[in-house]
Structure 1
Amino acid sequence: MLLVGFCCAFACLGALLFGYDSGIISSSIAQTDFVNRFGDGTLADNTAGGIVSSFTGGAIIGSLSLSFLSDRYGRRAAIFTGSLLACLGSALQGGAISVAMVIAGRVIAGLAVGQLSATVPNYCSEVAHPRFRALLAGLQQWNIGLGFVCAQWVGYGSSLVNGPFSWRFPLAFQALPASVLAAGVWFLPESPRYLAEKGESIKAHAVLKRLHTDQELVREEYTRIQDNLAAERQSRMGWMDMFRQASLRRRVLLACGIQLFTQTSGINVINYYGPRIYAFLNFGTTRSLLIIGIYGALAQVYNTICIAFIDRVGRRKLLIPSMIGMGAALCVNATLAHFYVDGNQRDHGRNENALRACVAMNFVFSVFYTSLGCLSWILCSEVFPTAIRAKGTSLSTFTNWSTNLIFAQCSPIALSRMGYRYFYIFMAFNWVAAAVVYFFYPETQGHTLESVNELFGDLKISHSAGSPQSDDTGGVYPRKASVEVCTEFLTPDSNTAAPQRAHDHKIEPA
């Protein structure tokens, strides 16, 4: 368990890069030297939107390239490539002499983060013990939060220094964790499921033995992996099958949906444009960055508590209250801002109580977002079969980043023209998302990655292989998979209805 935890924690440096690079830009573009150098005293809305959204555009491309790299060369190679790109992107941003150079660095950094954000949760899910899969996959969100905390406090500290250091150092600093990840990723074991899929059964079994001390678990996991891969090879699942087959199409919709909900929650609008939001509430830049730093530090505490309880409480029980709570917090925040602005216009003074309450609602929002933030990455890595897991997570991560791009480009203009009314839109999005989760999302708690196939009703595998004491291998593992495969379908409106058997057949892969 310690080795598995270390492997996941180290791989999640990629998630830390995600959080840092996403969070550092808000403080950097607010620095006086940055604004004077690239904006002649003011930074236009379209320039700010372009700098922020260029990162997201790169991430969209990076997430789509994940399937090719991860399926062909392995999870470690995809993480390594992302780390190198992150180093290059940070160098360009830190040394920028023009807006074009900043944008180029942001695009390359986005390519890196797009790859890493899709690869890391896959890797963690595929090496984790079934009982602790949500905990270890949840490290993705925990490290994203840690990256935001680092970005916010580095940005705040740098803002106390005048000159180009105030933005060059924060943008270049991300090269440090990227270099560590690039140097150390090859010391991590490769995903046993990837090795088994590529026919490296002996290596896959060796990795499982190295990761898990419970030999009974090793035998069970190895058998399940081989048996499910044998069934998946017969079905020959590819890109188009994700849209042709009803059960796979449902998985795509669920995975893309949960990633869509993270963006329509409003979290990244708050993270990217925090200083602008607080400026709207009449806070100065330094004070705004201090509040954002405290906000991020507390969010990390919430993340820690959340991942400790995910495997005990279940996915749905955390998601639905999360979305309802976020919508309520945004509703209260926007309403308070409405009365604060009106009161300011009438009384020509500051309503300090309303101002404090608006800030408090952002902290309440952060508490409720925690569950959605953690579970969005876990669910995407759980719902897909091994043969198309990289493709599926690539597509769902693409949804995340493409929606992110829309909000990143539109939010500066929306905040300028709509002000507090902009948050009513996200309030509605969150409440609609809660209803969608309630009616359409199944509970995946307690299922192995292989048994999720049966949960979705597309494939039920009867593992006919005996124990190593009773089968004809004489207890020698790894062995060739021989499995009775029963393809069964559930009724469309039930996850628990009794299935009808379509056909039985025996697979004995070479």
Structure 2
Amino acid sequence: MGRALVISCAAFSAIGGFLFGYDSGIASSTIAQPQFIKYFEHPSDAVAGGIVSAFQGGAIIGCLTVTYLGDVLGRKRMIFLGSLIAIFGCALQGGAVTIAMLIAGRFFAGIAVGQLSSTVPIYCAEIAPPNIRGLLAGLLQWMLSWGFFAAQWIGYGSTFSTSSFQWRFPLSFQVVPALILAIGILFLPESPRWLMEKDKPDEALTTLRQLHYNGHNDDFIDLEFTEMQTSIRAAGVNNKLSWTEIVKNPSWRRRLVLGCSIQAFGQLSGINVINYYGPRIYESLGISTSGALMITGINGTTGIVENTIILLLIDKIGRIWPITIGAFGMAGCMLTNAILNKKFPANATNPNSNALRAQVGMNFVFQLAFQSLGCISWIYPAEIFPTEIRALGTSLAALTNWSLSLIFAQCSPIALSSIGFNYFYFFFAFNLISGICYLAFYPETKGRTLEQMDALFEDEKAIPSLEYGDKAAEITTKNSQPTAHVEKI
């Protein structure tokens, strides 16, 4: 029962990832629809950029709200708040009668997605047992892939309409998953670690047993609870932390740098340039709008399969090797496309059709190489931070992602227009750098409990952990006085 419940809770909360992927993907197809262009009287490139950028700007605000509210409201209520804001933002988009109304809807949807992208990985990581934490925390990216898939094919299917339905329905559809998430999250258990942090040990133990008990692992549950309790007591989570204290702590500072940089490397891979401006890139290759949307949709379909494989393997093969191999793979794809377009430009009098097909093929290979980073860039920050700064650290990592996403949303149209595929050399270089950094600086986190991360990052407050079995229980019991007497359920 415990395993089924924890997987169900994580999968349901990951609907927030579906909203993330759908709202990210629907913009590019919407602004390319003929009826959208007709209704808003041929909006300029600046307006189109504003529609895309409003979403990232809102997401930045959303991440900042989590730094202040994440530990106050808890994981469930933060997800609930995000889903309510998503409903409002999506309704504004679908019912827009002016560009300003549409941009406002995109902004509010961005706030919601910023909150959800920061909170859902934390919730999944905190409720998961260590042996499947990568699978559950990675569900955000898996559902993001489904959201992007739905956006691509709904956008493509809507091209066959000849009315405003062509763009209103794709934008309005987002209300459905947001409403489902808002209602359903109320019935899920709260994170046991957040409950313990708020000095509710009875509720924490009850929830922990609901999520992890398999009928014969009482010793594991008791030891996990003791470790959690001792870690939180040692950290003194009720003490108000200042930014100065976080930066001065060498272990926390290192984790903050790693969490933010892995999210930065996700954007510096070039994935969102291809996602947001895919139709424009394919147009430069001589492919029609409908053909470009079809190719993007097929690419999204294969991405789901690839993402599923990564999720099933991630708790066996670990975090670092997959993202390292993926980084070098993405570097190769970007370099290949830049060279192909230089030697066989799409705007030549007689373009080389084989070279054009090869460039499209490289985008499919790039998608495959990105999948590991797509998952792990959300998993890694959610699991490396200690309880007292987990919401803050994870939201700052997500903030890094959205800030760079906003920069690329503004700069990429200009770069693509001025230097074309030479822009891809930039991403080639950063993918190469990121692969080297993963090998040199990122420790492996596979199979460890969240409390064991303190020892991994050499935190002075690290405590004996589950891996030492009965000895750990003896030591932690001796060194801690329980905050409350908790009866075994």
TM-score bracket for the superposition, by shorter chain length: over 0.9
Structure 2 CA distance for partners of 1:466 and 1:456, relative to 1, 3 Å? closer
User: Could you tell me which residue of structure 2 aligns to residue 36 of structure 1?
Assistant: 38
SS at match of 1:442: coil
Residue 318 of structure 1 pairs with residue 322 of structure 2: yes
Indicate whether 1:297 and 2:301 are aligned.
yes
CA distance in 2, matches of 1:125, 1:190: 12
Cα distance per residue 1:245-280 (max 9 Å; x no partner): 111100000000000000000001111111111111
**What amino acid is the match of 2:420?**
G
**Do the aligned partners of 1:237 and 1:388 also contact (CA within 8 Å) in 2?**
no
Q: Is contact 2:303-2:371 (8 Å) kept?
A: yes
- Name the structure with the higher helix share: 2
Letter of the aligned partner of 1:101 in structure 2?
M
Moved more, 15-24 or 206-215: 206-215
Residue 231 of structure 1 is aligned with which of 230, 234, 239?
234
How far 1:413 moved relative to its partner? Answer: 1.4
**Superposed, which structure 2 residues align to 1:95-134 within 5 Å?**
95-134=95-134
Q: Which runs of 5+ in 2 are unaligned?
A: 485-489
Q: Deviations 1:208-255 (Å, cap 9, x if unpaired)?
A: 111122322211211111000011107947241221111110000000
- Higher relative contact order (CA closer than 8 Å, sequence separation 6+): 2
* In structure 2, C-alpha distance between the alignment counterparts of 1:229 and 1:131, rounded to whole Å: 21
CA displacement, residues 59-111 of structure 1 (integer Å, 9 cap, x when unaligned): 00101111332211110000000001111111111111111111100000000
Once the two structures are superposed, the pairs formed by residues 69-80 of structure 1 within 5 Å of their partners are 69-80=69-80
Q: 1:508 Cα shift?
A: 6.2
Contact residue 91 and residue 175 of structure 1 kept, 8 A: yes
Alpha carbons 2:67, 2:395 under 8 Å: kept: yes
Task: Kindly indicate whether the alpha-carbon contact (under 8 Å) linking 1:18 and 1:144 is maintained by their aligned counterparts in 2.
Answer: yes
Residues 1:138 and 2:138 are matched in the alignment: yes
- What TM-score, normalized to structure 1? 0.90
Contact 1:69/1:77, CA 8 A, preserved across alignment: no
Other structure's SS at 1:96 match: coil
**Could you give the per-residue CA deviations for residues 344-376 of structure 1, whole angstroms, max 9, x where no partner exists?**
53xx22311011101000000000000000000
Q: Is the 8 A contact 2:231 2:462 kept in 1?
A: no
SS at match of 1:168: helix
Compared with structure 1, are the counterparts of its residues 419 and 312 closer, same or farther at alpha carbon in structure 2 (3 Å cutoff)?
Answer: same
1:205 matched to which residue of 2?
205
**TM-aligned CA distance change 1:438 to 1:467, over 3 Å:** closer
Q: Report whether the alignment pairs 1:277 with 2:281.
A: yes
User: In terms of mean alpha carbon deviation, does 226-235 or 131-140 score higher?
Assistant: 226-235
Q: Which residue of 1 aligns with 2:464?
A: 462
Structure 2 equivalent of residue 440 of structure 1: 441
8 A contact 2:156–2:294 mirrored in 1: yes
Instruction: Name the CA distance, whole Å, in 1 between partners of 2:21 and 2:420.
Output: 26
The aligned amino acid for 1:75 is R
1:152 aligns with 2:152: yes
Secondary structure at the residue paired with 1:451?
Answer: helix
Q: Which residue of 2 aligns with 1:7?
A: 9
The 8 Å contact of residues 80 and 185 in structure 2, kept in 1 or not, is answered as yes
Secondary structure class of the residue paired with 1:334: helix
1:299-378 mapped onto 2 (5 Å cutoff): 299-341=303-345, 344-345=347-348, 348-378=349-379
* One-letter amino acid of the structure 2 residue matched with residue 134 of structure 1: G
State the superposition RMSD in angstroms: 2.0
Instruction: Give the alignment of 1:60-71 within 5 angstroms.
Output: 60-71=60-71
Aligned to 2:406: 405
Any idea what the Cα deviations from partners look like across 1:17-69, whole Å, max 9, x if unmatched? 0000000111000001112222x33x422211111011000000101111332
Residues 404-454 of structure 1 deviation map (CA, whole Å, 9 limit, x = unaligned): 110011111111111111111111111111111111111111211000100
Q: Which moved more, 1:207-216 or 1:315-324?
A: 207-216
Structure 1 stretches of 4+ with a deviation exceeding 3 A read: 234-237, 462-468, 506-510
What does residue 487 of structure 2 align with?
A: none
- Contact 1:55–1:110 at 8 Å: present in 2 too? yes
Matched position secondary structure for 2:199: coil
Distance 2:258 2:225 in 1: 28
Distance 1:298 1:466 in 2: 43
**Residue in structure 2 matched with residue 249 of structure 1 by the alignment:** 253
- 1:8 Cα deviation (Å)? 0.3
Give me the TM-score of the superposition, normalised by structure 2. 0.94
Do the aligned partners of 1:227 and 1:463 also contact (CA within 8 Å) in 2? no
- Output the amino acid matched with 1:100: A
Question: Is the counterpart of residue 85 in structure 1 residue 85 in structure 2?
Answer: yes
Change (3 A) 1:359 1:194: same
Distance 2:231 2:273 in 1: 41
Distance (Å, rounded) in 2 between the aligned partners of 1:234 and 1:152: 44
Structure-1 separation of matches of 2:6 and 2:188: 10
SS across alignment from 1:460 = coil
- How many pairs are equivalent? 474
Match of 2:51 in 1: 51
Secondary structure at 1:252 match in 2: helix
Q: Conserved in 1, the CA contact under 8 Å of 2:226 and 2:477?
A: no
Q: Using the alignment, how far apart are the partners of 1:452 and 1:98 within structure 2?
A: 50
C-alpha contact 2:62 2:112 (8 A) present in aligned 1: yes
State the distance in 2 between where 1:425 and 1:467 align.
Answer: 52
* Cα distance change of structure 1 residues 253 and 83 upon mapping to structure 2, 3 Å threshold: same
Name stretches of at least 5 consecutive residues in structure 1 with no aligned partner.
472-480, 485-505
Secondary structure at 1:462 match in 2: coil
Can you list the C-alpha shifts for 1:188-220, whole angstroms capped at 9, x where unaligned? Answer: 000000000001100000001111223222112
What is the CA-CA distance between 1:129 and the residue it aligns to?
1.0
Q: Percent identity?
A: 50
In structure 2, how many angstroms separate the alpha carbons of the residues matched to 1:29 and 1:483?
63
Q: Which amino acid aligns with 1:278?
A: Y
